[in-house]
Amino acid sequence: MIAQHIAAIRARILDAAKAADRTPDAVRLIAVSKTRPVSDVLAALEAGQSVFGENRVQEAKAKFAALAEIAAATLPKPELHLIGPLQTNKVEDAVRLFDVIQTLDRPKLAAALATAIVKIGRAPKLYIEINIGAEEQKAGIAPARLADFLGLCRDTHKLAIDGLMCIPPHEADPAPFFAELKRLADTHHLPQVSMGMSADFETAIAQGATQVRVGTALFGARQYTTENQ
């Protein structure tokens, strides 16, 4: 099942890239495995999917440690992206575990990441989360604050920033929000644009996404338990 879903999503990504006159390798698929068991991640790895997104540091740590014991010798090492909010008390674990942290969303977190990266001697790639719809309850840097925040990250904290990510407002047409994120990334010469989920990844690709984050369309409905809520 998971292998078929991955093949189907990859085909849709290729079609969307082609329709937008983009090269076939212009868009990467991040398989969002939050709430899913190790067995699902293993099935995806066996089907050739090696990039995964997780929302919670502790859940990802337990899951991918278990996976490494089962699969380390035979399958490629997964590339792990953090796509959920990061609390400052979990920053060291996150720096050890993740290859990419997509949710840099506030000055305090930039400072904590800088300290942890120096202390641990490992530097995950960092994307800034943008509150693209200026929603009060949502995390992220306001578009108008991005230039200042980039300056803080780079000049004060010596952090390299690789891209932007967003989650557009729930009920609205996402296309203009995706277009705005791409415009911001271009303005600031940031190569990675992480946008688009199961329901709207083709729209995101049309607007310039370089990475789409797909969960339910690959793995089915999420399995919430007392442990991963």
Ligand X SMILES: *Cc1c(COP(=O)(O)O)cnc(C)c1O
- Interface ranges with ligand X (CB under 6 A): 32, 34, 55, 83-84, 167, 197-199, 213-217
Concatenated DSSP letters of 180-198:
HHHHHHHHTT--EEE---T
The distance of closest approach from Cβ of residue 158 to ligand X in the complex, given in angstroms and rounded to an integer, is: 27
Distance of closest approach, residue 214 Cβ to ligand X, in angstroms? 5
What is the distance between the alpha carbons of residues 29 and 49, in angstroms, rounded to a whole number?
Answer: 8
Please list the alpha-helical segments (H only) found in the chain. 2-19, 38-46, 57-71, 91-97, 107-120, 146-151, 175-187, 201-206, 216-219
Q: Which two structure tokens, joined as six digits, stand for 94?
A: 């996150």
- In the complex with ligand X, the residue whose CB is nearer, 159 or 197, is 197
Q: Nearest residue by C-beta to ligand X? A: 215
**Cβ 192 vs Cβ 163: under 8 Å:** yes
Contact partners, residue 1, CB within 8 Å, separation at least 6: 43, 220
Q: How far apart are CA 109 and CA 120, in angstroms?
A: 16
Comparison of 73 and 222: residue with beta carbon closer to ligand X: 222
Smallest separation, CB 59 to ligand X (Å): 12
CA distance 101 to 104: 7
Nearer to ligand X, 49 or 55 (CB): 55
Residue 21 or 171: the one with the smaller Cβ distance to ligand X is 171
CB of 221 to ligand X, least distance (A): 9
Please say which residue, 205 or 214, places its beta carbon nearer to ligand X: 214
Question: What's the closest the beta carbon of residue 56 comes to ligand X, in angstroms?
Answer: 10
